Amino acid sequence: MLAWIMVCIASLLFYKYTNFFIQGIIANISPSFADEGDRISKELLPGLPPLAISFFTFEFVHYLVEIYRGHRPIRSPITFALFSIYWPSLVAGPIKRYRQFVTSARRGMHQVELDDIRAGAIRVSIGVMKKFLADVLSGWIDFMDDNYEVIPTGERWLVFVAIGARILLDFSGYSDMAIGFARLMGIRLPENFRWPYLANSINDFWHRWHISLSSWIRDYVYIPLGGNRHGIPRKVVNLMVAMSLCGLWHGAAWNFILWGLYQGIGLVLSASVGRLIRSGAGYVVRHMAVCVPGNAQICQLISGLWLASCWISTLFFVFVGWLLFFYPASKAWSMLSLLFTM
């Protein structure tokens, strides 16, 4: 079983990360060796990695690990093929869990209810609208990006917000369409987004954003590494490793790794410093409620302001992360700095 898991991972590394390893790492050590490796890779590798190889790999690894843990395998080749190449979720997820999918698929093969068709059609329509808005925002962002340094500060902030809105609309729009098309067939795919921009902490954000990926990273990377069972230093290392891999999974480039590390730092702060601050704020509110009778409205106001500040700071942190996600670190830093320059 371990051998097959290694084959899946090796396939992903070979097809998706060989050129990154040669050009991004080996080239800095030995340019001549990198040139030879680049020549060989062009002979062996296709122009682009196989379609959806990242999703194939994660779903197959999940399947093999669950079988190793004692769960019943899929016996039917047709059912396994359906799980493997189910077209609505093939390109961009959600990442399926095989037991939930097989159970839902069997139900859908026997009966599709009117509620499924209605809900699926609505979900697809919402997804199409989101994708349309994302494409409109993409065109506007590309236009403004060329003039970012000379436009007024207020318009820079609009670009900053638009970048965050675009990725949410684009990615959640695709998930909506995938979930909707599956629902039209009576099959229920896992939810992938639950209003992530309403999160009031980074930890809360990752419970709402790309849920099928974040839960996969938790179950098959973070927890096997030890999770939070071996003290705070080990927990920090596990988080940083897990989120670095999460970033690298999105693409073979340094900016994705940097984005993953950035998110890992955010999770560490959210789990440690954030807890201390929340405890302190809660103590202040409780103290006022007990010691200053009649000031319940003030306590509610303080609580509301605290929640608002948590939401705004979380949203700003996430949106700064999207600059690291889409741009090289130097440009991301320049764009962020210009937000505070008149």
Identify how many contiguous H helices and E strands the chain contains and give both numbers: 16, 0
pLDDT of residue 264: 93
Catalytic residues: 250
**Residue 119, CB-side half-sphere exposure with 13 Å CA sphere:** 13
**Spatial contact of 100 and 212, defined as CB atoms under 8 Å apart:** no
- The tokens describing 135, both together, are 């494409």
pLDDT of residue 141: 95
**pTM for this predicted structure:** 0.88
| Residue 93 CB partners (closer than 8 Å, separation 6+) | 55, 175, 178, 192, 210, 212, 213
Q: What is the residue whose two structure tokens read 């669950």? A: 66
**Spatial contact of 145 and 159, defined as CB atoms under 8 Å apart:** yes
pLDDT in single tens digits along all 342 residues of the chain: 678 888 888 888 888 887 778 777 777 777 776 676 777 776 667 766 777 888 889 999 999 999 998 899 999 899 999 998 888 888 887 999 999 999 999 888 888 889 999 999 999 999 999 999 999 999 999 999 888 988 999 999 999 999 999 999 999 999 999 999 999 999 999 999 999 999 989 999 999 999 999 999 999 999 999 888 888 888 889 999 999 999 988 888 889 999 999 999 999 888 776 666 655 555 555 555 555 555 667 767 777 787 888 899 999 999 999 999 999 999 999 999 999 987
pLDDT of residue 290: 52
pLDDT of residue 332: 93
**Residue 174, CB-side half-sphere exposure with 13 Å CA sphere:** 17
What DSSP designation does 23 have?
Answer: I
pLDDT of residue 283: 54
Cis-peptide, bond into residue 94, ω within 30° of zero: yes
- Residue spans per domain, the chain: 2-110, 114-193, 197-338
pLDDT of residue 275: 61
**Spatial contact of 236 and 226, defined as CB atoms under 8 Å apart:** no
pLDDT of residue 184: 94
pLDDT of residue 281: 54
Instruction: Give the C-alpha separation, 98 to 111, whole Å.
Output: 20
Task: List the one residue out of 60, 94, 49 whose CA is nearest residue 252.
Answer: 49
Instruction: Give the C-alpha separation, 190 to 55, whole Å.
Output: 14
- The tokens describing 232, both together, are 């705070």
Instruction: Give the C-alpha separation, 13 to 147, whole Å.
Output: 38
Instruction: Give the C-alpha separation, 5 to 1, whole Å.
Output: 6
pLDDT of residue 205: 95
